[in-house]
Amino acid sequence: MKSVWLKGLGSIESVSLRIVKWEIAAAAIVIVCALATAWPVIHGMATSSLWIDEFYSVQKFASKGPGHVLTHYTVPNNHIFFNLLNSFTLDSDSLYLPWRVRLWSFAFVAFGAVLLLWYFTKAGKVLEGSILVFLMLANVDYLDLILQARGYGLLSLGAIVCCVASSRWFERRDSLTVAVVALSVWLATWAVPTFVLFGGALMALLWVTSKDGRWLVAGTLCLLAIACSYLPVHKELIGNSSTFAKDWGKGFADWNSISSLLSGNLFFGAKSWLVFIGVMGIAGGAVIVSKDLKEMDRGALCLGLAVLATYAIALKLETLLVRTVAFTVIPCGYLAAAVFRRLTFWQNLKSIRVAGMLLVVLGVTFITIQSRKTYKFIPIEAWMETARCIEKHFPQNTKIVAQFRSRQLRAYLSKDYPVSTAFDVTKFLAGKQIVVDSAFKKKDRFDTSVMPNGYEKIAIPQRRGDPQTIYYFPQ
């Protein structure tokens, strides 16, 4: 008796129902571990302060309405399609509420995880789907990035759609799949232009490998849609591109850039030599299983080649920021899952599949336990946390001296606490004034030599620079 779960297992038709049940159980453990590892990040991002890039997106673009978002690109902070969506859902009461501002990113990540599980489960490969979801959610640095109120969550979803659609294409070769890939590449590129490097390479590879003219037509229409989307801001976009290297430096300079990207977003912060071994392992496995490729594997191979093309162009340009191509870890993980599936079904040996399942369960469990022990969510910039600390420890009408980006602090601070830049020793000694030092660099920090002896301080941790510090004179 065969189960519906056996569908899609390729030539391995002798797998027993017991093995399939073990796979389902293993997949359930992997999903639970993924959620347990991701929860501190999810909760933290839903409740913690925005940081400067998110503030800028809200203040300069989303809060000014759709028309402004579509026609202004003063700096690359305008992830246009993402800010366009946010401009419809934000109002004056929710401009700086973390969960409201980041709502679209939460939706993109959740939908991407569900899509992966749905597709792999439908194909009878639920364990591989759970592994890929784990790689996306349990790499806490990557999850932190794609949950920000920026376009990176949309890039992640776009990469997932491309992964699923690429495999579906080799199974069905239908026009809907071609349209879905083109649509996802257009919208993701409309958020962050660098997605076109991956999306364009993928569509070209699918056209070359299938020799189907629909990909050429779809790619052309996709490029036209991208050009039309950026037409209102093309002058600003060109101007920013010409000065980007000078303003922001080199993003991709050598292998270390790619190693850092993969380490922080796919390999759980591993050392560069371990990343190299992992990449070589995936590549070597892909070569081993390259004969008699199944439909999903052919799609994974195109994805892997598209990632290589993206990295090659990034190294050539040198100016791309690492986070703008971090979405490439999704197809890398997809390729790794495809290699795992083929190798663990090697030679029809059930023992290899069982050993593979056991190793996966032990590995994800170990990673989850270690993460829960050692990881503590800290916001990039702690503006809201500092504001809440002030409101908790100091009475209303206490004057706040804030000489560094006071606008971000005001966004969360009650109006009952006036903010200025002038320090008054008399008021400070009387407890009517406190100092908030939020500067990231030491040269910008508040000069404490002007304070009288005996002051005390409260440090609020943040990831960027030194902690935000509240100086006060005890009463």
Q: What is the pLDDT of residue 10?
A: 42
Please work out, in degrees rounded to the nearest 5, the angle formed at the alpha carbon of residue 344 by the alpha carbons of 267 and 163.
55
User: What does the DSSP 8-state code read for residue 401?
Assistant: E
Write the pLDDT tens digit of every residue in 410-465: 999 999 999 999 999 999 999 999 999 999 888 889 999 999 999 999 999 999 98
Spell out the residues 6+ positions from residue 201 whose beta carbon is closer than 8 angstroms to its own.
Answer: 305, 306, 309, 310
Give the count of alpha carbons within 13 A of 400, CB side only: 30
Flag whether pLDDT at 7 surpasses 50.
Answer: no
Tell me the C-alpha to C-alpha distance, in Å, between residue 201 and each of 216, 325, 393.
Answer: 12, 14, 56
280 within 8 A of 151, measured Cβ to Cβ: no
Tell the burial category of 27 from Cβ atoms under 10 Å away from its Cβ (0-12, 13-18, 19+): buried
The rounded distance, in Å, linking the Cα atoms of 253 and 48 is 33
What value does the mean pLDDT take over residues 160-187? 95
How confident is the prediction for the chain on average, in pLDDT?
90
d(CA 342, CA 377): 37
pLDDT at 290: 61
Q: 3-state DSSP call for residue 458?
A: strand
| pLDDT of the residue at 251 | 80
pTM of the model: 0.91
pLDDT digit string, tens, across residues 310-327:
999 999 988 888 899 999
Burial state string for 337-376 with b = 16 or more CB within 10 A and e = fewer than 16: bbbbbbebbeeeebeebbebbeebbeebeebbeebeeeee
Quick check: 348 pLDDT over 70?
no
With beta carbons less than 8 A apart as the criterion, state whether 69 and 78 touch.
yes
Please compute the mean of the pLDDT values over residues 9-32 and round it to a whole number: 75
